[in-house]
């Protein structure tokens, strides 16, 4: 990932627009939902066909990439913005400590991608448990601080940098994946904030993503995390 110069930014004033954290809520939901589904599938007793087993492992690899990139983007982009605007009101060290703790578990998951399916299921379960606690704390304690102190434009800048850091290959998964886990209102907000190229990418990739998801999980609608 390329290094980005963090801009100077002042705390949001009372009259300024609050940042829209829709993308954060949706990606959190998407990660937890799919980790839960994958852990159950890989750790379950049912035998998977060769094609489904391969697709499940490939899908798991995509989710692990999303988890890694999401937390790297928080460390490199969002946390510096929060420090500049709300450093006096928040201690970010518990969140960065959580990110460090995720590293070895992510590596264990990656190592299990090509091995025993049940070991992969156990590793994904451990990752899910860590993320579940981390995300619950982040949304309950940190999101209100972001809403209070981070200006709308500064948060939009962060989202644009996240998109620029992603490769085209990653975006062909990320874009339709996020919309799959968004409500209709959230999807409308995400698309409204996206540029024309990203909206075109969604249109071109959503059917392929849907087919991939059906191969792995079947046709049912995923539950909400």
Domain definitions of the chain by residue range: 22-217
Res 193: pLDDT: 84
- pLDDT beyond 80 at 224: no
Q: How does residue 1 score in pLDDT terms, banded at 50, 70 and 90? A: low
pLDDT in tens, 131-160: 999 999 999 999 999 999 999 999 999 999
Lowest mean pLDDT among 13-27, 28-42, 190-204, 211-225: 211-225
- pLDDT beyond 80 at 108: yes
What percent of the chain has pLDDT above 70? Answer: 96
Mean predicted confidence (pLDDT) in 116-130: 96
Res 30: pLDDT: 98
Res 219: pLDDT: 78
CATH code of the domain occupying 22-217? 1.20.120
Which residues have a Cβ under 8 Å from the Cβ of 41 and sit 6 or more positions away?
A: 48, 56, 121, 216, 217
- pLDDT beyond 50 at 223: no
pLDDT, mean over the chain: 93
- pLDDT beyond 90 at 83: yes
Res 225: pLDDT: 39
Torsion angle defined by CA atoms of residues 48, 132, 29 and 138, in that order, rounded to the nearest 10 degrees:
-160
* Distance separating alpha carbons of residues 210 and 215, to the nearest angstrom: 9
- Residue 150: HSE in the Cβ half-sphere, 13 Å Cα cutoff: 27
pLDDT in tens, 89-98: 999 999 999 9
């Amino acid at each position: 990932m390329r290094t980005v110069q963090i801009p100077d930014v002042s705390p949001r004033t009372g009259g300024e627009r609050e940042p829209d954290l829709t993308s954060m809520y949706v990606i959190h939901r998407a990660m937890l939902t799919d980790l839960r589904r994958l852990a159950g599938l890989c750790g379950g007793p049912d035998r998977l066909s060769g094609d489904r087993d391969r697709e499940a492992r490939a899908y798991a690899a995509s989710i692990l990439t999303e988890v890694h990139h999401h937390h790297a983007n928080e460390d490199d982009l969002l946390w510096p913005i929060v420090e500049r605007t709300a450093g006096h009101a928040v201690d970010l060290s518990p969140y960065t400590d959580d990110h460090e703790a995720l590293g070895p578990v992510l590596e264990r998951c990656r190592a299990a991608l090509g091995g025993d399916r049940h070991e992969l299921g156990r590793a994904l379960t451990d990752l899910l448990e860590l993320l579940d606690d981390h995300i619950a704390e982040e949304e309950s304690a940190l999101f209100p601080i972001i809403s209070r102190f981070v200006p709308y434009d500064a948060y939009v800048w962060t989202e644009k940098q996240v998109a620029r850091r992603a490769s085209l290959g990653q975006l062909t998964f990320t874009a339709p994946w996020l919309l799959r886990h968004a409500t209709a209102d959230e999807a409308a907000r995400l698309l409204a904030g996206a540029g024309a190229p990203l909206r075109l990418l969604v249109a071109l990739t959503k059917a392929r993503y849907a087919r991939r998801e059906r191969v792995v999980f079947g046709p049912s609608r995923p539950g909400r995390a």
